[in-house]
Amino acid sequence: MHLQKSVNMSTAAAAPSAPAISCGLGKQQRRRLAAFDFDHTIVSQNTDTVVRDMLPNELISSKALTDLMESECWTEYMAEIFRLLHAQQVQESRIRDVIRCIPEVPGFVRLIKHLQKRLNFDLIIISDSNSVFIDEWLRAHNLSDSFKAIFTNPANFDEHGQLQVRPHHQQTDCKLSASNLCKGRVLEHFVIEQDLRFNIRYDHVFYVGDGNNDICPVLRQRACDFACARQGFAMEKHLIKNRNKLKLRAQLLIWRNGFDLLEQMCALPQLQGHSIESHNLETEIARRASTAATAASSAPPEQ
């Protein structure tokens, strides 16, 4: 698991156009897969903009940065942000501290652990953040061993302490995706590779996201799969508005937080592999936690 994760993150730009094929001997394994976006899905903020906001406002709003952001090459934009942070003598330790302190979307740590340990899911992340940010946050929340693979923009701190980031890949085929990351291609490739190389076939694939760049992967899902869109965010609005036009085959789940999503998943007949008593207890715990999280998020801020 660690080897596969390391390869996916550090050699993303050199990903092959077709999966390597081995003999595929042995009994086929039937499993379930959950693929997660990261920003505004697992974590409650955008990791890139949180780190960008460490810069002085006059730099963030400068014409040079604004023009670069509007060029629709986000990876190049963030590379310049990291250069400016280094020029401002912002240390690696401060950047890592800021990332570790980003709160989870309520209930997502519990959701991830439950899917992996209790419901026998394979878990992956497909994100336009970067490997340094994702690794740092997962380690801080004891989730490093929870994911079978992580697909994102590879990054590292160089010998001078500057954060360097590179595109996951370069693509021009998918108009729903950024040039540096087509999440649909990544998800499709992973599922095929697991089948051909490791004889693992996924009976159900859950894709969990929030943004417009999460549309492509769910449009490639089957009728037995689940598109899980965060309520009130761009992914849900786009799918609801254009559902018939997009010809979405997957079943649509709308979630508010991790507790709510876990409750919905535990209620699905497709996941009834554990005891009724256990299911009822887990559903009730998730229901109560979801209610509490919703109430907390809608409470007026303290003056």
Summary mean pLDDT of the chain: 86
Q: Is 128 annotated as a binding residue?
A: yes
Q: For the chain, report the end-to-end CA distance as a whole number of angstroms.
A: 47
- Residues 6 or more apart in contact with residue 101 via CB below 8 angstroms: none
The full set of domains in the chain, from first to last, is 30-45+103-266 (3.40.50.1000)
Of 39, 214, 225, 260, the active-site residue reads: 39
State the Cα–Cα distance between residues 303 and 287, nearest whole angstrom: 30
Q: Is 195 annotated as a binding residue?
A: no
In the residue annotation, 195 being an active-site residue is answered as no
Q: What does residue 270 show for φ and ψ, rounded to 5 degrees?
A: -65, -20
**298-303, long-range: CB within 8 Å, 24+ apart, which pairs?**
none
pLDDT at position 287, please? 64
State the Cα–Cα distance between residues 154 and 13, nearest whole angstrom: 8
Over the stretch 241-270, which tens digit does the pLDDT of each residue have?
998 899 899 999 999 999 999 999 999 999
Q: Is 37 annotated as a binding residue?
A: yes
For a pLDDT cut of 70, what percent of the chain falls above it?
81
Q: Is 97 annotated as a binding residue?
A: no
* Greatest mean pLDDT range, 89-98, 175-184, 280-289: 89-98
Determine which of 118-122, 199-203, 235-239, 271-275 has the lowest per-residue pLDDT on average: 271-275
In the residue annotation, 39 being an active-site residue is answered as yes
Over the stretch 172-210, which tens digit does the pLDDT of each residue have?
787 877 877 999 999 999 999 999 999 999 999 999 999
Tokens matching residue 277: 């008593």
Q: Is the pLDDT of residue 139 over 60?
A: yes
pTM of the model: 0.83
Q: Is 67 annotated as a binding residue?
A: no
- Packing angle, helices 131-140 and 92-100, rounded to 10: 60
